[in-house]
Amino acid sequence: MNFELPLITPLSRKYYNYASVINGLKHHRAGDVRICLEYICDEIIYEFITDNDKLKWADYDLHKKLKASKHFLSKNIVDNLVKAKIVGNKGVHSGEEGCYNTKDIEDAMLSIKNFSLDVFLSYFKKNGFGNKMPSWIPTVFSILPPVYRVHILEDYLQHDKSSFVIDKLAKAYLKCGLEDKARSFLSECFDKKLINEEQYTIFDYDITLLKQSFHLLPIANNLDEAKENFNRLLPSIEEEKRDSFICLVSLILNGHRPS
């Protein structure tokens, strides 16, 4: 499964889309990658950095801003973002004569996609996903298109093999149109003793019930539909319960913090 757009803010996605134009001039595409990274830093990474970095943020160049994310993102993700920044720099400063190629640009864009998932993964690793977290988090997470949830939960399952995560991932598979995968996944988890027989029976039956009620569920097929679902949900969440996760989702879908 693949997803077309990364989970980044609308403004950063705008330049990501510009960089995606295959027949665009090489240095223009590379420059758009850099602009995309600038907005990612100021609109997403800023929300998760230390207070000390926030005080110095206005004086940081792009390299320092990306490095500031090492406190919550995996080292591999940060290193790849820095490599993407280098490609962008070459496009801006050296034009078409720069020492980079189309593959370098594509790799940079893949790094942005992976970053957009790792933000959620890192949040869940730090705060948990399930009973240990505010009740609104799984609900807000569920408004994202299922393909994103599958990618994030598949990685998070390596960190947390709880029955709650297994159940959510199985349902995300189903909502992606992968019923056979959902059922085989539950069977594998039962065989590995990650869930017991009673849980397996309940989760498998839930898949059947969920499939029957698809027409009643607000399952988003894209980020525009996710935005509509989120904005309908937001008024139900008390302001004091709107934590950094809800802020992150609002930034990605609306381009601004929830008001």
Using the predicted structure, report yes or no on whether residue 176 has a pLDDT greater than 80.
Answer: yes
| Stronger pLDDT, 190 or 136, i.e. the higher one | 190
Angle value at C-alpha 18, between 16 and 21, nearest 5 degrees: 110
Q: Can you tell me the distance from the alpha carbon of 7 to that of 200, in angstroms, rounded to the nearest whole number?
A: 32
pLDDT at 179 over 70: yes
Q: Mean of the per-residue pLDDT values for the chain?
A: 93
Is pLDDT above 70 for 133?
no
CA nearest to 7, candidates 257, 258, 248 = 248
Whole-number percent of the chain with pLDDT over 70: 98
119 pLDDT higher than 70: yes
d(CA 66, CA 154): 25
In this structure, are residues 78 and 70 in contact, taking their beta carbons and an 8 Å threshold?
A: yes
Would the pLDDT of 174 be above 70?
yes
Whole-number pLDDT of residue 73: 95
- Residues recorded for the chain: 259
pTM higher than 0.75: yes
Confidence check: pLDDT of 216 > 80: no
Phi/psi region, residue 177 (left: phi>0; alpha: psi -120 to 50; beta: rest), is: left
Q: What is the number of other CB atoms lying within 10 angstroms of the CB of residue 37?
A: 28
* pLDDT average, residue stretch 97-109: 92
Q: How large is the average pLDDT for residues 16-27?
A: 92
> Stretch 135-149: mean pLDDT, rounded?
92
